[in-house]
Amino acid sequence: MESMEDFKDEIDRSFRQIKEGDIVTGTVIGIEDTEVLLDIKYYTQGVIKAEDLSEDPKFSIRTDVKVGDEISATVVATDDGNGNILLSKREATKVLAWDKLKELLESGENVTVTVSEAVKSGVVCFLEGIRGFIPASKLSLDYVDDDALNDYVGKKLQVRVITADEKDQKLVLSAKEILREKADEERAQKISNVEVGLVTEGTVESLQDYGAFINLGNGLSGLVHISQIANQRIAHPSAVLKVGQKVKVKVTAIKDGKLSLSMKALDEIAATEITEEKIEFESEGDATTSLADLLKKAGF
């Protein structure tokens, strides 16, 4: 048979001293439109008013809280007037969340957030109950105009914490680093299928003093150094090329995920092929190139 000793720990917890400012953890046992009831392993239950659950304006007590959820909350009062412990999840969040956010900053862990609104130069979301800002420059690898920010509202994004300043209540997040890493992985996979010596067609993407970047399609591009554009020396790639022009190139090197291309090498290949054809023609019969001999062979 069970004895009082078997329930000693539970009994001790139920009569422990709880004071204002303490953070307690309880299990949701009831949900009303205006409050949530918690079992905090105490002789009385805890109550969190709806307005003390979250700072997120999109938060819904009916959809975002479920019976059985564990919630940590700060003791606001030891008696709410009805004998219950009055709690605030918002207050506990401010204490606990910043510790978690600092951990996320140090670890660089990816987290998923939902964009709640668009503001000037970025969007807002909530992480660990804290209002966070994602600058427009950190939303995508491409430029995001202010007019396009509303398109992000309601979307789930993978982000990292890049600033977690509890003193100034400043939380800044970024999706850009994650997107760049994924793009680099995809590019590395595509480059692994490219071999040195490949001849292909591409489009001139941009011209620089040192060469031309060629878009090869499928997310790949490479550089034709100015010395590899033409057989003759040129002062600038624009002397031979223009943006948007279609060109044939040869892959001459692959290093550190970068493709080195050459147009000059194709001219050399063509010159070699012409020479080989001439040699093959001359090897048949007597080797001669005079017009008189050709006419004679033709029967004139």
Per-residue confidence at 268, pLDDT binned at 50, 70, 90? low
What does pTM read for this prediction?
A: 0.59
Beta-bridge partner residues of 199: 250
What helix, strand, coil percent values describe the chain, rounded to 5?
30, 35, 35
Q: What is the dihedral of CA 239, 241, 244, 249, to 10 degrees?
A: -170
**What are phi and psi for residue 7, nearest 5 degrees?**
-105, 10
Instruction: Give the separation between CA 228 and CA 264, rounded to whole angstroms.
Output: 5
Per-residue confidence at 289, pLDDT binned at 50, 70, 90? very low
Instruction: Give the separation between CA 259 and CA 162, rounded to whole angstroms.
Output: 32
**Which has the minimum average pLDDT: 47-51, 177-181, 234-238, 287-291?**
287-291
Contact between 144 and 136 under an 8 Å Cβ cutoff? The reply is: yes
Burial track 36-62 (b if 16+ CB lie within 10 A, e otherwise): bbbebbbeebbbbbbebbbebeeeebe
Model confidence over 163-218: pLDDT tens digits?
999 999 999 999 999 999 998 888 888 888 889 999 999 999 999 999 999 999 88
Mean pLDDT along residues 14-33: 86
At 227 the three-state DSSP class reads: helix
| pLDDT at residue 280 tops 80 | no
